């Protein structure tokens, strides 16, 4: 089954890329933006049919490789 993980920067971590994107949006006339934070999105197809087991597997992947918990948070979503 397919599991997704969304990695986002923690609140206090500076996101220069997000800031530049925000400025670009501003320049394009999207003046109602307060803040932009850039993150990562993964779709992982696992050989596992039990959603609970599949999620816990991806949870372990996030902790060990996909996210750096000093600066990032992650959220796991079952997509299929």
Contact residues toward another protein (CB under 8 A) are 13-14, 16-17, 20, 64-66, 68, 70-71
Quick one: which H or E segment has residue 14?
A: none
**Of 18, 63, 12, 16, which Cα lies nearest the Cα of 38?**
18
**Minimum distance between the CB of residue 49 and another protein, rounded to whole angstroms?**
27
Sequence-distant (6+) residues with CB within 8 A of 74 are: 5, 6, 7, 8, 62, 66, 67
The residue among 46 and 66 lying less far from another protein, judged by its C-beta, is 66
* 12 vs 49, beta carbon nearer another protein: 12
CB of 71 to another protein, least distance (A): 5
Least gap, CB of 70 to another protein (angstroms): 5
């Amino acid at each position: 089954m397919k599991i997704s993980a969304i990695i986002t920067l923690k609140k206090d971590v500076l996101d220069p890329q997000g800031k530049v994107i925000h400025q670009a949006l501003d320049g394009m006339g999207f003046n109602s933006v307060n803040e932009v934070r850039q993150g990562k999105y993964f779709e992982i197809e696992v050989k596992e049919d039990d959603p609970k087991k599949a999620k816990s597997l991806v949870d372990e992947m996030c902790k060990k490789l996909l996210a750096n918990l000093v600066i990032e948070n992650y959220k796991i979503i079952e997509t299929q």
